[in-house]
């Protein structure tokens, strides 16, 4: 009996140590997507480490794990998992759990080279127009869904950004409507010009939402723009989650027979249609908030053009 208790206690201690290590890493990152990916990657690595009878953590071990991953995973998946392990080594060193020299060795494990360029999906102008027209605008849910599709296609938002929108984000700048001071990836703040048809979609949704709620929409400016609506048409007041927005996009694109289309493909479509319409490349980068925008602004002194924005070049309408 004593031996059994000892084994159980040891298992609990190991599980606790594993959870503590993972939590140290998760606390060091802000993106919910990064947290989710790192948690999965570190659980897999620590399970493998346990199956190997917990050998010493060092560069050679991580290289051996990399070889193990290469038997089943592609380059991008392997590199993501190695990134999580490097972060684990860095945080463990900072917290005095492993020597800095060991951590530096682990951080120097190279990633797997990815051959070729990852292909994305884009909608044609005709398909994008069909998608905008797909929701049933006789219902509140349909009006909400059309407004969501409008900001994804018309402003190039990420699904997480669309989920975080509040009524306060919708304001006028230089005589046009825009999404103001949106905090996106890596906590970068940007303002995105909005095409008139996207604002029209939001207005139609706002009118019906106000009628259903029997109050003026937007009086509470911190209220979420896109709220949850159940199958019976009842409003919960809770903000839609990024996953819910993905489900909305997938449901409409699948019904239209467009194949495997995700919200990020609508972001790509925004960029491609705007470019085909003659929008300036730097202006598209500013609207999308890509990491290279700051460098582009610094070198070229590029400023957002609110009179001729990428959103005006899409050629779509309601």
Residues marked as catalytic: 158, 185, 264, 267, 290, 299
Tell which residue, 279, 313, 291, 290, has the closest CA to residue 154: 313
Residue with tokens 């289309």: 261
Distance from C-alpha of 316 to C-alpha of 91, rounded to nearest angstrom: 48
Contact (CB, 8 A) for 142 and 150: no
Residues 6 or more apart in contact with residue 85 via CB below 8 angstroms: 41, 42, 45, 62, 65, 106, 109
Contact (CB, 8 A) for 127 and 258: yes
Alpha helices in the chain, H assignment, sequence order: 2-26, 32-51, 59-70, 75-94, 100-107, 125-133, 140-155, 159-164, 196-213, 242-255, 263-276, 281-288, 293-300
51: burial class by Cβ within 10 Å (0-12, 13-18, 19+)? exposed
Query: Would you state the structure tokens that stand for residue 24, as one six-digit string?
Result: 């140290």
Q: Name beta bridge partners: 166.
A: 224
Task: Convert 258-283 to b/e letters by CB count within 10 Å (16 or more is b).
Answer: beebebbbbbbbbbbbbeeeebbebb
Q: What is the DSSP string of 72-102?
A: T--HHHHHHHHHHHHHHHHHHHHTTSS-HHH
Phi/psi at 104 (5° precision)? -65, -35
Tell which residue, 162, 131, 159, 145, has the closest CA to residue 209: 145
Distance from C-alpha of 166 to C-alpha of 180, rounded to nearest angstrom: 10
Query: Would you state the structure tokens that stand for residue 311, as one six-digit string?
Result: 């959103």
């Amino acid at each position: 009996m004593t031996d059994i208790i000892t084994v159980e206690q040891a298992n609990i201690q190991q599980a606790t140590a594993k959870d503590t290590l993972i939590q140290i890493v998760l606390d060091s990152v802000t993106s919910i997507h990064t947290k989710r990916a790192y948690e999965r990657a570190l659980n897999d690595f620590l399970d493998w480490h346990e199956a190997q009878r917990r050998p010493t953590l060092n560069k050679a071990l991580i290289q051996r794990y990399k070889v193990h991953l290469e038997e089943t995973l592609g380059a991008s998946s392997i590199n993501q998992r190695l990134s999580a392990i490097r972060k684990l080594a860095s945080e463990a060193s900072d917290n005095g759990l492993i020597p800095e020299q060991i951590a530096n060795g682990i951080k120097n494990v190279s990633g797997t080279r990815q051959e070729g360029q990852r292909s994305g999906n884009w909608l044609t102008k005709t398909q994008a127009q069909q998608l905008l027209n797909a929701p049933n605008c006789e219902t509140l849910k349909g009006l909400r869904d059309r407004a969501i599709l409008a900001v994804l296609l018309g402003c190039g938002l990420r699904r997480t950004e669309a989920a975080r929108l509040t009524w306060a984000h919708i304001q006028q700048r230089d005589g046009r409507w825009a999404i103001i001071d949106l905090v996106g990836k890596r906590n970068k703040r940007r303002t995105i010009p909005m095409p008139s048809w996207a604002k029209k979609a939001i207005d139609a949704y706002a009118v019906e939402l106000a009628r259903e709620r029997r109050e003026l929409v937007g009086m509470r400016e911190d209220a979420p723009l896109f709220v949850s609506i159940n199958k019976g048409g009842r409003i919960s007041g809770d903000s839609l989650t990024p996953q819910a927005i993905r489900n909305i996009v997938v449901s409409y694109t699948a019904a239209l027979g467009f194949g495997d289309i995700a919200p990020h493909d609508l972001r790509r479509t925004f960029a491609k249609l705007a470019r085909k319409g003659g929008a300036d490349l730097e202006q598209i980068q500013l609207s999308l908030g890509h990491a290279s925008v700051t460098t582009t602004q610094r070198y070229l002194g590029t400023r957002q053009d609110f009179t001729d924005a990428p959103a005006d070049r899409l050629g779509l309408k309601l």
